[in-house]
Amino acid sequence: MVLHHPVLRLDDTQGSAALATGIGRIASETRIFHGLILVLVAVQALGLYSFAERLGLSRLWVRAGVLFYGLSTVLMFVPGTIDGFVTPLLGSRCFGDATQCANSLAGSLTLAWAAIQAFTTIALALQALGLLSWSVALALSSGWQRWAGICGGLLAIVPLAMLATLDRAIDPFVLAEIIIFEAIWAMAAAIMLWSDRIRANRAI
């Protein structure tokens, strides 16, 4: 779904006035898209909390996963709000008189872009740490859960490695490459939860 992120297409010859006009033009589309994304983030967090409850909240690794993933969910709302609602608002305010506020808009958008990059990176890392913690909890269990935990740990490590070695800005395509591994992990957790195959035990 992230690949459907609204994109403003401008060439290098167009200035800040054209940028402001373009942002105002796609403002509604941007708000709807990010609103849906934030709802999905919240729903996924709720589902994974149910998964953690089934694993057993008395276990240290499970509680660590809840902490990391909970923080990631809160932090993910920051770039989603900035990109989806603050940026369109800035562009919409300049839509009627773009030339007058073009310079201040460019500075504001630069600051917004930096905040989006920083919060998204931290949120994705915390999300992966949460999944890794739950994978450890599974790996410390017995039977098939141990193997599920090992596979889940490998899936969770990949996004962390990608973020650590990332040498370019996070755009929708980079984001899709990173979250595909976390999406696979979440789908596997949903299947385990739906099939009622998760059982809490006394492991750490």
Please compute the mean of the pLDDT values over residues 144-166 and round it to a whole number: 93
Let me know if residue 202 belongs to a domain.
no
Residue 152 CB: number of other CB atoms within 10 A? Answer: 24
pLDDT at 203: 58
pLDDT band at 81 (very low <50, low <70, confident <90, very high): very high
pLDDT band at 99 (very low <50, low <70, confident <90, very high): low
Q: Domain tally for the chain?
A: 1
More confident of the two residues 88 and 137 = 137
Let me know if residue 102 belongs to a domain.
yes
Let me know if residue 20 belongs to a domain.
yes
Angle between helices 60-81 and 98-139 (to 10 degrees): 170
In the chain, pLDDT over 70 holds for what percent of residues?
Answer: 80
At 19-59, the pLDDT tens digits run 666 777 777 888 899 999 999 999 999 999 999 999 999 99
More confident of the two residues 115 and 2 = 115
Which of 38, 42, 30, 40 is closest to 85 using CA atoms?
30
For residue 92, is pLDDT > 80? no
pTM here is 0.85
Find where tokens 């979440």 sit. Answer: 186
The DSSP letter of residue 13 is T
Let me know if residue 199 belongs to a domain.
no
Let me know if residue 201 belongs to a domain.
no
Please report how many Cα atoms fall inside a 13 Å half-sphere around the Cα of residue 161, on the Cβ side: 7
Let me know if residue 6 belongs to a domain.
no
Cα–Cα dist 118/120, whole Å: 6
pLDDT at 198: 63
Which of 151, 127, 187, 145 is closest to 59 using CA atoms?
145
Let me know if residue 93 belongs to a domain.
yes
Where is average pLDDT lowest: 20-34, 147-161, 187-201?
187-201
Let me know if residue 4 belongs to a domain.
no
Burial class (CB in 10 A: 0-12, 13-18, 19+), 173: exposed
| Parent domain of 39 | 11-194
